[in-house]
């Protein structure tokens, strides 16, 4: 049981770091802090590009992995006697 818990904890740390990286790679949508650092200076040409859509998909996938890992660790903590 300890090996599963350790594996989930390692997966949680890795998914946390990767999720932070992916979120920081997203393009600012305007307003807020992104304008403060020059994010509002670039003009968008309309719809999202293939790279942005893939980045969105990767971010959602890593977010789901993070969520499942947190739930798994919670279940282990709840039912491990």
pTM for the model stands at: 0.76
Other Cβ atoms within 10 Å of 12 Cβ, number:
17
pLDDT at 54: 93
What is the per-residue burial (b if ≥16 Cβ within 10 Å, else e) of 33-72?
A: ebeeeeeeeeeeeeeeeeeeeebeeebeebeebbeebeeb
pLDDT at 1: 79
pLDDT at 80: 83
pLDDT at 43: 52
- Report, as ranges of residue numbers, the positions in the chain whose pLDDT lies below 50: none
pLDDT at 11: 97
C-alpha to C-alpha distance for 47 and 27, rounded to whole angstroms: 13
pLDDT at 41: 54
Cβ-contact 62, 18 below 8 angstroms? yes
């Amino acid at each position: 049981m300890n090996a599963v818990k350790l594996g989930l904890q390692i997966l949680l740390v890795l998914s946390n770091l990767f999720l932070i990286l992916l979120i920081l790679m997203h393009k600012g949508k305007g307003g807020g802090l992104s304008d403060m650092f020059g994010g509002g200076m670039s003009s968008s040409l309309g719809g999202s590009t293939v790279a942005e859509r893939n980045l969105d998909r990767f971010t959602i996938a890593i977010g789901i992995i993070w969520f499942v890992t947190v739930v798994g660790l919670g279940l282990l903590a709840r039912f491990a006697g």
